[in-house]
Amino acid sequence: MKKLLTSCVLVLLLSVSASAQNRQIHTVSSGETLYSISRTLGVTVAELRSWNDLDDNAISIGQELIYFTQVEPTQPVPEEQPIDEGSSLISVSIPQENEYYTVKSGDNLTTIARQHDMTLTELRELNNLQGDLLRIGQQLAVRKVRDSVAPSASEYSDENAPQGSYVIYTVESGETLPDVLDKFEMTESELRQLNPEVNVNSLDRNQRITVLLPPSSNFENPYTAEASLQDLGSVPARTYTNAEVGNTTTSGELYNPNQLTAAHSNITIGSILFVENPATGSGIYVRINDRITQSGLKLSEAAYRILGLSNTQSPQVKIYTES
C-alpha cells in the first residue's frame, strides 16, 4: 500500500511538471550561436544541450532545436483599479530584439556598442566575447534599433511639425544629400551623427533615415538696441568639451560648438540672455537650449571664445535678461 501511494505521488508530480512547460522549436539562422540563442530564448546553454542531446556547442544553419517555455498558472483577473493621475502611463516593457552586425575595417567594440545603444558588457555577454579582438567580416549579435523609437515624418504636416522631434524619413526618388539637408534645415554633420550606419553621400530611393524636424514657427529676436535689460548678477562660466559635440541637448537639438547657445540650471529653455565678460566689457546674446545641474552658465565653444574666456582662470560672466 505504501509503495502504491508513493508511485501515485510520483506520477502526479511528473504530470504537473509536464503540464507546466510548453515544447517549442527554434530553427537556427545564419550567424547564430548556441549562446546567442540561449539569450534570445531566455534559457541556459546547458538546458539547450540537454534537451537536444548535444555533445558540444556546434550547431548548423537550419537545425531545429527543442526548448521548453514555462507556462504560468492562470491567475484570476484583478479588479480594475482607478488610474493614479500622478503615475506614469508611458513606461511600457517591450521585448528587445537582436540583429546581426558585420565588422568593418576600423571598427572596435566601443564604437559598435555606442552605435547600437549598448554597453560594452552587454555586447560582450551577448556574443560570449572574452577580449576586444575583432576580425573584418565577423558577425556580432547587436541590439536591434526599433523604428518605433521615432515616428514617420509623414505623420506631421508643415503646420503641426513639433520643433525638436526626431522622425524617420523615407528618401524620395531623385533626392540628394543637399535636398534632404535643405528640407529639414540640418547640417551634414548633424545628419551623420543621427545616422552613423548610413552613407549620407549616397542616399537611395525608399531608404529610411532619422532626421530632426525643423521648427514650424519663426520668432523675431525680442531684444533690440533699445531693449531694457535686467542685471541677474555674476555667475561662474565654463564651456562644453570636444567629446560633447553632437550630443542631444535638453531642447532636442544637437550641441553645435559654432552656435551661440548655453545651458543653465533653471532659466527657461528658449530664453535669450545677454552675457558680458566684466573684465573686457564685451558681450553677446546666447540662447538657452540645455540644462545643467551645477550653478553658473555653460557656454558653447563659440560663445566662450568670443567672450575671451578661453585663457581665464575661474572665469565669471554677468548675465542679463529683459526686464
Same CATH fold, 147-212 and 98-143?
yes
**1.10.3720.10, 3.10.350.10, 2.40.160.40, 2.40.30.10: which CATH number matches 18-69?**
3.10.350.10
pLDDT in tens, 46-86: 788 888 888 888 888 889 998 877 544 444 544 544 444 43
Q: Residues 6 or more apart from 179 whose CB is under 8 A from it?
A: none
Domain range summary for the chain, segments of one domain joined by +: 18-69, 98-143, 147-212, 229-322
147-212 carries CATH number 3.10.350.10: yes
Closest CA to 103 of 4, 31, 190: 31
Dihedral sign, CA of 261, 265, 271, 277? negative
Query: Which CA distances in Å does 32 have to 9, 39, 107, 160?
Result: 42, 11, 21, 44
Write down the H helix ranges in the chain: 2-19, 34-41, 45-51, 109-115, 120-127, 177-184, 188-194, 301-306
**3.10.350.10, 2.40.50.140, 3.20.10.10, 3.30.1330.10: which CATH number matches 98-143?**
3.10.350.10
CATH code, 229-322: 2.40.40.10
Q: Exposure of 26 by Cβ count < 10 A (0-12 exposed, 13-18 middle, 19+ buried)?
A: middle
Contact 167, 183 (CB under 8 A): no
Mean pLDDT for back-to-back runs of 10 residues, the chain (323 residues): 50 44 82 80 80 84 82 48 39 55 83 80 86 83 61 50 67 90 87 83 85 64 58 91 90 90 90 89 89 92 91 89 72
pLDDT of residue 302: 92
pLDDT in tens, 204-221: 888 888 888 776 555 555
The dihedral formed by the CA atoms of 304, 306, 311 and 314, expressed in degrees to the nearest 10: -40
